[in-house]
């Protein structure tokens, strides 16, 4: 009988892509293994996971809104329905182990699996543990984390420091510069700034770039700008109005390996996955943490690099005035680029996905 693994969670790319990396690593170790994803209906995992070649089932689970809203009245009913559906999925798929990567769907699935006596593993991407993972930790057999000091949230004897799992194509980005230049239509003798704001885009970063678009044009640099779906038409209009043919705007970039390959410097939010990817691709970066992230965990993620002189940090409120000038200074300073690149590369954990996959397989009786 082939081994069977359920992987649950999602909601953002920061949860989905580590989950896919774990699945890929499991398949590399044991090609016969059967993997089923469980996500939240209407969330991006329902499109991204099938695109990666895996089957996914959606639950009606939703999160609690921070502000008072009528939607919160539906929360307990949807949670109850999701738990019943998760029990059905576990009963029918008969997994040997369940893996949770954070996000709404992982709660009902890992609870259903653990109540059935199945071993569970959770993977925490951030330096500040998410609510779902904190609630699931008591029942989990193994907790894989990306940052030291996570004993503040989880039982120390269950913790294994692995780093965050990242897709193999991104680990190999350093060999793909010429492919990236061709893909994005860029010139090989011009420096390139990559701007990424997470899967949905980052409004402050987008508006800061738009405000100082003229400075980027005058400096003669190329820009690959991932705006998110809401801002992309506005960005493209600003680029067209300015006649800025060297600035390319995309709502989403699937080919992140090629985007990193062409970048001389990166502007990014400080989500856990972005930070882990930047370490692996060794790119000098300016981090603009999302200030509304729970417990300000993006700032904590960023400081884990900044305190080692491995990245620069600009607060969200300072970005409109300071972001583009800081990016131009970094692109003009090869010595600082080299220093940041050297220091950030020392924090990379390229074997994280494989290590987590091996821990998953250890839990199968």
What pLDDT does residue 79 have?
66
What pLDDT does residue 287 have?
98
* Of 79-88, 133-142, 177-186, minimum mean pLDDT range: 79-88
199 carries a ligand binding annotation: yes
275 carries a ligand binding annotation: yes
Nearest to 249 by CA among 316, 259, 284, 47: 259
Could you count the other beta carbons within 10 Å of the beta carbon of residue 91? 10
What pLDDT does residue 217 have?
93
Facing residues of 193 across strands? 223, 265
What pLDDT does residue 76 have?
58
Which burial class, exposed, middle or buried, applies to 72 when counting CB atoms under 10 A from its CB (0-12, 13-18, 19+)? middle
298 carries a ligand binding annotation: yes
Residues 131-151 as b or e (16 or more Cβ within 10 Å = b)? ebbeebbeebebbbbbbeebe
What pLDDT does residue 41 have?
87
What pLDDT does residue 14 have?
78
Q: Where are the domains of the chain?
A: 4-165+351-362, 169-345
14 carries a ligand binding annotation: yes
In this structure, the chain runs to a length of 365
What pLDDT does residue 308 have?
94
- The pLDDT tens digits for 173-187 are 989 999 999 999 999
What pLDDT does residue 68 have?
57
What pLDDT does residue 180 have?
97
What pLDDT does residue 66 have?
54
Which residue has 């990666």 as its token pair? Answer: 52
* Contact predicate 95/36, CB 8 Å: yes
268 carries a ligand binding annotation: no
Same fold, 4-165+351-362 and 169-345: yes
213 carries a ligand binding annotation: no
- The pLDDT tens digits for 33-62 are 999 999 988 888 999 999 999 999 988 865
126 carries a ligand binding annotation: yes
What pLDDT does residue 274 have?
92
13 carries a ligand binding annotation: yes
> Model pTM?
0.85
Res. 222: pLDDT tops 70: yes
Architecture of the domain whose range is 4-165+351-362: 3-Layer(aba) Sandwich (3.40)
- The pLDDT tens digits for 155-175 are 999 999 999 999 888 988 989
What pLDDT does residue 184 have?
97
* Contact predicate 100/118, CB 8 Å: no
Q: Give the pair of three-digit tokens for residue 10.
A: 């999602």
> Nearest-5° angle of CA 124, CA 127, CA 132?
40
272 carries a ligand binding annotation: yes
Q: How confident is the model at residue 358 (pLDDT cuts 50, 70, 90)?
A: very high
Calculate what percentage of the chain has a pLDDT beyond 70: 95
CATH topology of domain 169-345: Rossmann fold (3.40.50)
């Amino acid at each position: 009988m082939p081994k069977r693994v359920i992987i649950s969670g999602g909601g953002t790319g920061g949860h989905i892509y580590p989950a896919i990396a774990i699945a890929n690593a499991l398949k590399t170790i044991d090609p016969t293994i059967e993997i089923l994803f469980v996500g939240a209906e209407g969330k991006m995992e329902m499109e991204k996971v099938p695109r990666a070649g895996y089957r996914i089932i959606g639950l009606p689970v939703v999160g609690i809104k921070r502000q008072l809203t009528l939607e919160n009245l539906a929360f307990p009913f949807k949670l109850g329905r999701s738990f019943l559906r998760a029990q059905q999925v576990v009963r029918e798929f008969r997994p040997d182990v369940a893996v949770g990567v954070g996000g709404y769907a992982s709660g009902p699935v890992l609870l259903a699996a653990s109540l059935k006596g199945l071993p569970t593993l959770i993977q925490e991407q951030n330096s500040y543990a998410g609510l779902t993972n904190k609630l699931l930790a008591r029942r989990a057999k193994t907790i894989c984390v990306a940052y030291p000091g996570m004993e503040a949230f989880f039982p120390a004897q269950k913790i294994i420091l692995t780093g965050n799992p990242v897709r193999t194509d991104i680990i190999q980005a350093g060999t793909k510069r010429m492919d990236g230049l061709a893909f994005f239509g860029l010139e090989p003798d011009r420096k390139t700034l990559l701007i990424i704001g997470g899967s949905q885009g980052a409004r402050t970063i987008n508006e800061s770039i738009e405000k100082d678009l003229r400075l980027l044009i005058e400096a003669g640099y190329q820009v690959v700008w991932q705006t998110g779906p809401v801002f992309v038409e506005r960005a493209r209009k600003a680029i067209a109005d300015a006649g800025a043919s060297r600035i390319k705007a995309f709502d989403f970039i699937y080919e992140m390996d090629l985007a990193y390959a062409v970048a001389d410097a990166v502007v990014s939010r400080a989500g856990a996955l972005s930070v882990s990817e930047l370490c692996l691709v060794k790119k000098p970066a300016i981090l603009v943490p999302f200030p509304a992230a729970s417990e300000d965990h993006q700032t904590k993620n960023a400081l884990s690099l900044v305190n080692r002189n491995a990245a620069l940090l600009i607060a969200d409120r300072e970005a409109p005035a300071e972001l583009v000038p800081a990016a131009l200074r970094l692109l003009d300073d090869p010595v600082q680029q080299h220093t940041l690149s050297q220091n950030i590369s020392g924090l990379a954990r390229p074997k994280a996905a494989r290590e987590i996959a091996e821990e998953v397989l250890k839990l199968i009786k």
